[in-house]
């Protein structure tokens, strides 16, 4: 087997594992979003268990990528792709952490329900979920335009976050005894806002892989 064929086969295995890791993160985010909508405590616990699997996947993928760099000594585009693997897995792991935060918040909110709509939080989570899917697909398909389009949706998340914070502050002004609940709500929205930032970082890594340029998306 030639070195190039072997390299491509190893890279294909990495792609498969990253796809699996991304799908796991998407599944955990979906469960966390459902827990937020329904107050399902059991779902929230499942997200925590899923995060441990995501962490294990990250270590496995990064070990594989490091081994490829050490044994194949890739250059140019191949090296950028392997360097990008570390950025992809790091941000997917952090996104998984935020899914856990969302699940925990869903559990806490179920104990002290917010009397107003959580639709903004739900929309933020749904956009985040779609962004994760598109960002991983952009990496696997080497699609710069798709990566940029996914990152652009972070503006939607930011707008919903700002609006939700204002809503909660208005609620707190009318209900000063609800400071603890308001803090939890704003923290939950902040988790979702930062999640979008991590997807943007992931998309920037894809653009770097494809172009060699460090580009800030959604400045």
**Are the beta carbons of 4 and 89 closer than 8 angstroms?**
no
pLDDT for position 76: 82
pLDDT for position 219: 66
pLDDT for position 50: 81
Two tokens, residue 164: 């939700």
**Angle at which helices 76-111 and 41-72 pack, to 10 degrees?**
170
Q: What is the pTM of this model?
A: 0.91
Q: Give the domain ranges of the chain.
A: 3-211
How far is the C-alpha of 139 from the C-alpha of 209, rounded, in Å? 9
Exposed / middle / buried, residue 170 (Cβ in 10 Å: 0-12, 13-18, 19+): exposed
pLDDT for position 2: 61
How far is the C-alpha of 209 from the C-alpha of 19, rounded, in Å? 17
**Are the beta carbons of 105 and 31 closer than 8 angstroms?**
no
pLDDT for position 183: 92
Smallest CA-to-CA distance from 155 within 135, 131, 139 is with 131
Phi, psi of 142 (to 5 degrees): 55, 50
Question: Which CATH entry fits the domain spanning 3-211: 1.20.58.220, 2.60.40.10, 2.60.120.380, 1.10.357.10?
Answer: 1.20.58.220
How far is the C-alpha of 116 from the C-alpha of 123, rounded, in Å? 15
Tell me how far CA of residue 176 lies from CA of 44, 105, 169, 171, 218, in angstroms. Answer: 29, 21, 10, 8, 36
Two tokens, residue 78: 């191949």
Smallest CA-to-CA distance from 115 within 74, 157, 189, 170 is with 170
Kind plus residue range of the DSSP H or E element containing 199: helix 179-211
List of residues 6+ apart from 116 with CB closer than 8 A: 167, 171
Specify the residue for token string 């389009």.
Answer: 149
Per-residue pLDDT of the chain (219 residues; tens, 9 = 90+): 567 788 888 889 999 999 999 999 999 999 998 888 888 878 878 888 888 899 999 999 999 999 998 888 788 888 899 999 999 999 999 999 989 888 888 888 888 888 888 899 999 999 999 999 999 999 999 999 999 999 999 999 999 999 999 999 999 999 999 999 999 899 999 989 999 999 999 999 999 999 988 899 876
3-state SS, 119-165, equals: HHHHHHHHHHHHHHHHHHHHHHHCCHHHHHHHHHCHHHHHHHHHHHH
């Amino acid at each position: 087997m030639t070195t190039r064929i072997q390299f491509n086969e190893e890279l294909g295995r990495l792609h498969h594992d990253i796809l699996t890791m991304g799908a796991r993160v998407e599944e955990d985010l979906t469960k966390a979003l459902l827990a937020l909508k329904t107050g399902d405590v059991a779902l929230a616990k499942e997200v925590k268990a899923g995060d441990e699997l995501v962490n294990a996947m990250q270590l496995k993928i990064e070990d594989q990528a490091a081994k490829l760099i050490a044994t194949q000594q890739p250059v140019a585009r191949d090296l950028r792709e392997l360097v990008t693997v570390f950025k992809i897995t790091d941000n997917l792991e952090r996104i998984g952490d935020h899914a856990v935060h969302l699940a925990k918040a869903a559990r806490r909110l179920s104990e002290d329900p917010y009397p107003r709509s959580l639709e903004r939080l739900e929309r933020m989570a749904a956009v985040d979920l779609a962004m994760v899917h598109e960002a991983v697909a952009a990496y696997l398909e080497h699609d710069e335009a798709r990566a940029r389009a996914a990152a652009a949706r972070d503006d939607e998340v930011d707008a919903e976050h700002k609006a939700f914070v204002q809503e909660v502050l208005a609620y707190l002004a009318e209900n000063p005894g609800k400071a603890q609940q308001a803090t939890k709500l704003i923290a939950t929205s902040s988790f979702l806002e930062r999640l979008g930032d991590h997807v943007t970082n992931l998309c920037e890594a894809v653009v770097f892989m494809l172009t060699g340029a460090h580009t800030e998306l959604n400045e």
